[in-house]
């Protein structure tokens, strides 16, 4: 069965896009860079075009955003202490003990 003219044009366009479009590896690097600083317009457009066609790269971008949000949320050590702070009495006992051991 012969392909319709529209199907032929579609295949030609896909081959052309494959040659012009950056690879998933390039896009993943650019997506990561875009999180750190603003990219030039042509690179942002390249990313958006690629993401509109590539589900795996869209997933990667979402995962990076989730990781960044988690990192920001848990970055403040004062808010995320695993060990509770020492009581004033315990701190004083430690100070006294250290002074005695130095003597």
pLDDT tens-digit readout, 53-94: 889 999 999 999 999 888 877 766 666 666 777 888 999 999
The residue-averaged pLDDT of 23-50 equals 93
pLDDT at 34 (0 to 100)? 94
pLDDT at 12 (0 to 100)? 82
φ, ψ (nearest 5 deg) of residue 66: -65, -45
Query: pLDDT tens-digit profile of 36-49?
Result: 999 999 999 999 98
The residue-averaged pLDDT of 10-37 equals 86
The rounded distance, in Å, linking the Cα atoms of 62 and 83 is: 32
pLDDT at 17 (0 to 100)? 72
Among candidates 27, 34, 30, which has minimal Cα distance to 54? 27
29 near 57, Cβ under 8 Å? no
The rounded distance, in Å, linking the Cα atoms of 13 and 23 is: 16
78: DSSP letter: T
Please report, for the chain, the start and end positions of each structural domain, with discontinuous segments joined by +. Answer: 8-73
């Amino acid at each position: 069965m012969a392909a319709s003219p529209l199907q032929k044009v579609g295949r030609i366009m896909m081959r052309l896009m494959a040659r012009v479009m950056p690879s998933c590896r390039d896009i993943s690097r650019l997506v990561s860079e875009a999180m750190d600083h603003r990219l030039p317009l042509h690179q942002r457009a390249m990313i958006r075009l690629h993401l509109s066609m590539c589900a795996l790269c869209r997933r990667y971008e979402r995962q990076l955003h989730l990781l960044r949000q988690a990192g920001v949320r848990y970055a403040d050590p004062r808010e995320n202490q695993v060990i509770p702070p020492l009581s004033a009495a315990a701190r004083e006992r430690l100070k006294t003990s250290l002074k005695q051991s130095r003597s």
